[in-house]
Amino acid sequence: MSGTATTRVALIGDVHANLPALEAVLVHAEMQSARAIWNVGDFLGYGAFPEEVVDLLGRVNAVSIIGNYDLKVLKFPDKDRKWRGSKHPLKWLAFKWAYEQLSPGSLEYLRYLPGEAKLSLNGKEFLLVHGSPASNEEALVPETPGERLAGLSQLARKKYGRGFDGIVFGHSHQPFTRLIGETWFVNTGSVGRPGDGDPRACYALMEVSAGGITVEHFRLEYDLERAAAAIREKGLPEAFAQMVLQGRELEEVLEE
């Protein structure tokens, strides 16, 4: 692309099998003239549409990496007996149910996804990770100290032999954008399972040009009742529906 090019990219993650939320985000991103979709993983988990979400993100040619939840679902057949005794029964059920819904093609697709991705756009370099450059289970939140983010930037530089203009991630379900040194840290927030008490779908729109990077987060209304009703219709626990309706994590819902 030319040095004057400006490109908009939709940054998404943590869809967690919530098809109505994903559909709303994709429509909105198209209206914002997003030219690409970068997905930081966790297609699966608690929602009623695991197969449909994997299929849709494949059909729209999203650039995707695998999330920690997706990896656990793929490991379920080997971990079933162990997890039956070590994990909360509802978490065990969520892994089991998601695995059983996936077609052989979707299982194959997920198995071949990378854990990280390096991308170039308009002369800028980006790294996609699920949690952080250090771990796919590290939860980076708005309160994460700048010193930690700076350390992660250096870790990425050491690992790949170059610095990045942007590091894009999810996992914590808490959207934020921070500039640390010369690196933008962007948490996409969760499309399908926000954990901050706001149930609206969340994603980020990034605009990239030779001159710089800008990021805007969006919270979108969508058909919450459809998402919750589908969970109930599939015979899944009411707690899973309440996670969607309330925008809260499972542990918080179970405390009620």
| Whole-number pLDDT of residue 5 | 87
Task: For 186-240, give the DSSP string.
Answer: EE---SS--SSS--SEEEEEEEEETTEEEEEEEEE---HHHHHHHHHHTT--HHH
Average pLDDT rounded to a whole number, residues 165-172: 98
| Whole-number pLDDT of residue 211 | 87
In this prediction, what percent of the chain has a pLDDT beyond 90? 96
Inter-residue contact 204 to 244 (CB < 8 Å):
no
Inter-residue contact 42 to 74 (CB < 8 Å):
no
Average pLDDT rounded to a whole number, residues 215-237: 98
State pTM to two decimals.
0.96
Share the mean pLDDT of the chain: 96
Inter-residue contact 44 to 220 (CB < 8 Å):
no
Task: For 114-171, give the DSSP string.
Answer: -S-EEEEETTEEEEE-SS-SS-TT----TTS-HHHHHHHHHHHHHHHTS--SEEEE-S
| Whole-number pLDDT of residue 4 | 64
Q: Which two tokens stand for residue 205?
A: 């729109």
Instruction: Indicate if the pLDDT at residue 28 is higher than 90.
Output: yes
Average pLDDT rounded to a whole number, residues 85-93: 95
Between helices 50-59 and 19-31, what is the axis angle to 10°? 20
- The string of pLDDT tens digits covering residues 125-161 is 999 999 999 999 999 999 999 999 999 999 999 999 9
Instruction: Give the closest residue to 231 by CA, choosing from 219, 251, 220, 246.
Output: 246
| Whole-number pLDDT of residue 2 | 42
What is the spatial distance between Cα 45 and Cα 94, in angstroms, rounded to a whole number?
6
- Which 8-state DSSP code applies to residue 46? S
Please compute Rg for the chain using Cα positions. 18
* Cα-based angle 193, 72, 189 (whole degrees, multiple of 5): 25
What is the spatial distance between Cα 15 and Cα 21, in angstroms, rounded to a whole number?
8
Band of residue 256 on the pLDDT scale cut at 50, 70, 90: confident
| Whole-number pLDDT of residue 1 | 38
What is the spatial distance between Cα 116 and Cα 134, in angstroms, rounded to a whole number?
11
Which domains, and CATH codes, for the chain? 6-117+188-254 (3.60.21.10)
45: CB partners within 8 A, 6+ apart: 16, 17, 69, 73, 94, 98, 193
Widest CA span in the chain: 57
* Cα-based angle 8, 144, 129 (whole degrees, multiple of 5): 45
Average pLDDT rounded to a whole number, residues 101-127: 97
